[in-house]
Amino acid sequence: MIAAALNVSIPAQAENDLPPVGRSRFDQLIGHAPVPYPFSRLLHTIDRQMLTDAGGLPPLKVTLIPLGRSLQREAGAPDYFHFPRVIAAADGISKPGIPPLKDRLFLGFHEKGAVIEVISYNDAAGRFEFQVVRNYQQGKTPQVFYARRSLCLACHQNAAPIFARPLWDETPANPAIAARLKQMRLDFYGVKLSGTDIAYFIDTATDRANLFPVWQVLWQQGCGAGEAGDRCRLEAFAAALDYARHGTLPAPNILLTLDRSWKTHWPRGLAIPNPDLPNRDPLAALPDASHDPLLLRPPLETWKAPDKTAFVVGLAGMLDVHAAQQLKAADLTAPLERLRVRGAFSVLPFRHALLDDLLAELGKPRRTRLASLPSARMEPASAAVDAGPLVAPFRTHCASCHDTTLPHPPNFLHGRSVDANLDHCAERIFVRLSMAGIPEASRSKPPMPPAAALASRGIDPAHWAISPELDVLKRLAASRLRGQDPASLLRRPYAQLRPCLPSSSYAERAR
C-alpha cells in the first residue's frame, strides 16, 4: 500500500540524485558565494530574508537534538550534549522581492560532523532536493553536494521533511533535555532553548511541506493532460489567488475535471504520505524498536475524494504573498486565459513563478534576479571497482547507501579496504540481513536493505525474506564470522555486537 503511495506522489525522476530540471531553493539562496560560516551567520543570512512574525518569534525556527535518530546521531559522541544536532525550518513570509522560503528550506547541522544536511524545494522540478554541505568548518571551504536520494528516502519516505509527533521529547521541549544542555554550554549558535513552541512550529512546517508532493500530484495527474487539464489548472490557480488575496474559499462546484479523473487514477483512494515519527524520549530506560525512522510508515490517511478546499488553500500557501497582493482587485479572467493559450498551464509542476507570469501579463513585471549558479554536484560514485564474487552481491544491494563518502550509515563498501570492512561488520550485517525473516514485532532492529528501499524497487518484503539473493548475502556474511555460530548472534543484544566500523571521529571518516 505504501509502495503505491510513494509511486503516486513521487514521479519516476525520484531516481535522480541531481535535479532533473531547476535547482534547490538552498542553491538559489547561496548562489556563488561560499556557504556562510559559522552556522550562526548562515542562520542570520536566512532569517534576514523573511519578515519577523507578529508573535515576535524569529521566522527561522531552530531547535537542538542532542540524542536523535538522524544520520548525524553519532557525530557528537561521546559529548552529545555539548555537540547537539541543530534543526532549522524556514517558517516566515519572505520580504518583498524575495522568493518564498516558508516550508521550502530545512537544515540539520552538526558542528563536530562539520556537515549540514539540507532539504529544500525545487519549484521547476516540483520536488524537495536532498543535499549535504561538507567541510563545514573553520579554515575550510564548504562543499555542497546533492546526496544519495535513495539513502535519504529510506527515512524521509515522503520525499520531504519528517519530524516527531508531540511532545518532541528529543528536543529542549523535554525539560530534562533542556537542563542537560544548559549545564553544558552557555550558547549554542545563538539558539534559544525554548519549550514546546519552537518544536510545534517546526512540526507544522514539516506537515505542510509533506503535502507539497500531494498538491503536485493533484495539479499534474489529477487535472491531467489536454485542454481540459489546462483549464482545470487555470481554475485551481485562480481559486488559489482568490484565497490568497481575499481569503475566499473555493466554491464546491469547481474543478469538476478533478472529480472525473479521480475514479480512474485513484479508484482505491489517494494515500497521503506520512511525515510523523513517533515521539521518543531518548532518556528513557529502554530503547523502543517501534520508534525507528527506517520502519515503513503507513499513509497518514487515504483520500477517497479530492479535498478541493485543502488543495486550493495548499496552492495558495506556496505563493508569494506580496506578489499576490500586487494583483489588487484586478479582474484576472482575461489575463489568465491569455496565459493558458500560451501554454502556461500545461502539465508542469505548480510553480510560484506562475504569479510572476501573471503580473507580467498585467503589465507589472517584477524584477526577477536570474543568478547564475555553480554547477550541481552529486555525491561521487565509487570508481568502478572490480568486485569479486564475495563482494559483488553486497555492491548490488547495499552500495547505494553504504558506499558514500560520509561515515553514517557506515560506508563499509567505500574505498580500498572493503574486504576488511566486511569482516569487521560481519556480525551486524548478518543480524540486519536476518531481520527480514523475523516477524516485525520481534525485530530488535529494522532489516537491511530498509523497507523503503525494497518498496521503491517494487520488491515485496515477504518475497525478499525467502529470496535466493538474501540467502547468498547471509551465507557470505556468515562466512566472515570466523567460526561463530550465526544463530547465537541473533540472541545477543544488538548493541553488544561488534561495532560495524572502527570508531573514529565522524568528520575524520568523512572522506
Residues near ligand HEC (CB under 6 A): 65, 68-71, 85, 87, 106-108, 117-119, 130, 132, 147, 150-152, 154-156, 161-163, 206, 277, 293-294, 394, 397-398, 400-402, 409-410, 425, 428-429, 432-433, 446, 448-450, 453, 473, 500
Shortest distance (Å) from residue 89 CB to ligand HEC: 6
What phi and psi, each to the nearest 5 degrees, are found at residue 200?
-60, -45
- The C-alpha cell at 218 is 493533484
Q: How far is the CB of 131 from ligand HEC (least distance, A)?
A: 6
Q: Which is nearer to ligand HEC, 116 or 354 (CB)?
A: 116
Least gap, CB of 495 to ligand HEC (angstroms): 9
User: Given the complex with ligand HEC, which of 221 and 411 has the nearer CB atom?
Assistant: 411
Closest approach of Cβ 69 to ligand HEC, in Å? 4
Min separation Cβ 368 and ligand HEC, Å? 27
Alpha-carbon span 255 to 261, nearest angstrom? 10
Kindly tell me which of 14 and 147 has the beta carbon lying closer to ligand HEC: 147
Burial of 491-505, coded b for 16+ CB within 10 Å and e otherwise, reads eeebeebeebbeeee
Pairing label, strands 163-164, 276-277:
parallel
| Residue 143 CB coordination number (10 Å) | 13
Query: Cα–Cα distances in Å, from 301 out to 119, 125, 220, 294, 460?
Result: 24, 25, 21, 19, 22
**Least separation in angstroms between CB 227 and ligand HEC:** 39
CB of 44 to ligand HEC, least distance (A): 18
Q: Do 167 and 279 meet the contact criterion of CB atoms below 8 Å apart?
A: yes
Rounded Cα distance, 170 and 166, in Å: 10
Q: Name which of 30, 45, 3, 360 is nearest 157 in CA terms.
A: 3
C-beta closer to ligand HEC: residue 107 or 240 = 107
- Rounded (10°) CA dihedral 339, 341, 343, 346: 100
Cβ proximity of 58 and 139 under 8 Å: no
Tell the smallest beta-carbon distance from residue 474 to ligand HEC (Å): 10
Instruction: Compute the CA torsion angle 79, 81, 85, 91 (nearest 10 deg).
Output: -170
CB of 350 to ligand HEC, least distance (A): 22
Q: Which is nearer to ligand HEC, 108 or 113 (CB)?
A: 108
User: Which one, 337 or 471, has the nearer CB to ligand HEC?
Assistant: 471
User: Minimum distance from CB of 289 to ligand HEC (Å)?
Assistant: 10
For ligand HEC, the closer of residues 191 and 240 by Cβ is 191
How many angstroms separate the CA atoms of 218 and 350, rounded? 10
Nearer of residues 223 and 277 to ligand HEC, judged by Cβ: 277
Q: Which is nearer to ligand HEC, 351 or 432 (CB)?
A: 432
CB of 307 to ligand HEC, least distance (A): 24
C-alpha distance from residue 127 to each of 9, 16, 17, 355, 405 (Å): 10, 11, 12, 19, 24
CA dist., res. 106 & res. 62, Å (int): 10
State which residue, 177 or 323, has the beta carbon closest to ligand HEC: 177
Three cell numbers, residue 190: 545563538
Torsion region of 355: left, alpha or beta (phi above 0 gives left; psi -120 to 50 gives alpha): alpha
When the beta carbons of 150 and 216 are compared against ligand HEC, the nearer one is 150
Report in angstroms the alpha-carbon separations of 198 from 71, 90, 268, 486. 22, 12, 37, 46
**Short-list 148, 202, 190, 157, CA closest to 380:** 148
CA distance 311 to 211: 9
> Rounded to whole angstroms, how far apart are CA atoms 461 and 450?
10
Beta-carbon count within 10 A of 406 CB:
25
Least CB distance from residue 87 to ligand HEC, whole Å? 5
Q: Which is nearer to ligand HEC, 20 or 269 (CB)?
A: 20
Q: DSSP string spanning 86-115? A: EEEEE-SPBPTTSPP-TTTEEEEEETTTTE
Instruction: Give the C-alpha separation, 130 to 152, whole Å.
Output: 7
For ligand HEC, the closer CB: 14 or 152? 152
Q: How far is the CB of 211 from ligand HEC (least distance, A)?
A: 14
